[in-house]
Structures are given as C-alpha cells and as structure tokens.
C-alpha cells in the first residue's frame, strides 16, 4: 500500500506537541494592489508552523487582518492544511473532514497571532 506521508496522532497527542513558527507572509496580490496606489479592502496572508520530530508535522492556514480600535488582530480564514490524520483513542482514522474540523478548533485554541504578527512586522518593515 502506498504511504502517502500522513502523521497519525490523537487530539491529545497533537495538543501535547509544541508547534514552532516557520514563516508567515502577506498575500502578494495585496502587495501589488497597494503598491499601485489602490486601497486594499482586506490584508490577508498565510502562516506556517511545524513540530520537529522523527518526521516533521506541518500545519499552515490563511489569515485576515482586522483593525479593532488601535489594535490589529489576525483571524484564521479557511481550514488548516497539514500532513496530519487524526485518530480516535482506539487508533481509528477520523477521516479527512473530521480531522479538518478538529484542526480548526486546535488552531483557534492557541495564540499563533502574536508570533505571526511579529514575523510579519519584521519581514515587511
């Protein structure tokens, strides 16, 4: 059977892993539009995170930037992409759609915005 590179974890095992920020970026389409003097309606981008191990776990998702008063906030848009297949405690694959749903909750449950904003500020300033 073809090994398609999934890393199999339960949700608890995933939560026990420490994700490290890899790279984030602003969508280039926005960059070009802004450079041409137009007003961007939304700033969007991507962020990539990894967890090192025997095989590297990869998780990435898109975000949109919102201004709330003087503060800037990033919000995930769209589902995360990964090489993960989540499993039940009994070791049964949860499937593509269920894995995506749980990854949505996982991403929304930790503070990725701080590191992402810091990287964006450093990269584009």
Partner 1 sequence: MVIAGSPKALTHDIYRKVGLYRQKVFVETLGWDLQTRDGMELDQFDRPDTLYMVSQDDDGFVNGCARLLPTHRPYLLGEVFPELMNGQPVPCSPDVWELSRFAAVDFNARGGSALAQFSSGIAVQLLRQAIACAAEHGAKRLITVSPIGIERLLRHTGVHAHRAGPPMIVDGHPIFACWIDVDDAA
CB of 113 to partner 1, least distance (A): 19
Site residues for partner 1 per CB under 8 A:
2-6, 22-23, 25, 28-29, 32-33, 46, 48, 50, 54-58, 60, 62, 78-79, 81-83, 85, 96
Name the residue nearer to partner 1 (CB basis): 70 or 97.
Answer: 97
Name the residue nearer to partner 1 (CB basis): 82 or 116.
Answer: 82
Helix (H) or strand (E) holding 79: strand 71-82
Name the residue nearer to partner 1 (CB basis): 26 or 74.
Answer: 26
- Residue 110 DSSP class: S
CB of 67 to partner 1, least distance (A): 23
Name the residue nearer to partner 1 (CB basis): 5 or 68.
Answer: 5
Q: Is 8 helix (H, G, I), strand (E, B) or coil?
A: strand
Locate the DSSP E strands across the chain: 7-10, 20-26, 43-51, 57-68, 71-82, 84-87
Pairing of strands 84-87, 7-10: parallel
Residue whose entry in the numeric block shows the structure tokens 């026990």: 16
């Amino acid at each position: 059977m073809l090994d398609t590179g999934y890393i199999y974890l339960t949700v608890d095992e995933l939560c026990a892993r420490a994700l490290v920020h890899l790279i984030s970026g602003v969508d280039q389409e926005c960059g070009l539009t802004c450079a041409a003097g137009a007003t961007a309606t939304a700033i969007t981008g991507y962020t990539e995170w990894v967890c090192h191990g025997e095989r590297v776990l990869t998780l990435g998702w898109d975000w949109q930037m919102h201004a709330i008063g003087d503060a800037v906030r990033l919000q995930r848009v769209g589902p995360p992409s990964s090489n993960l297949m989540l499993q039940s405690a009994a070791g049964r694959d949860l499937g593509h759609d269920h894995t995506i749903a749980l990854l949505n909750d996982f991403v929304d449950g930790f503070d990725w915005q701080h590191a992402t904003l810091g990287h964006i500020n450093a990269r584009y300033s």
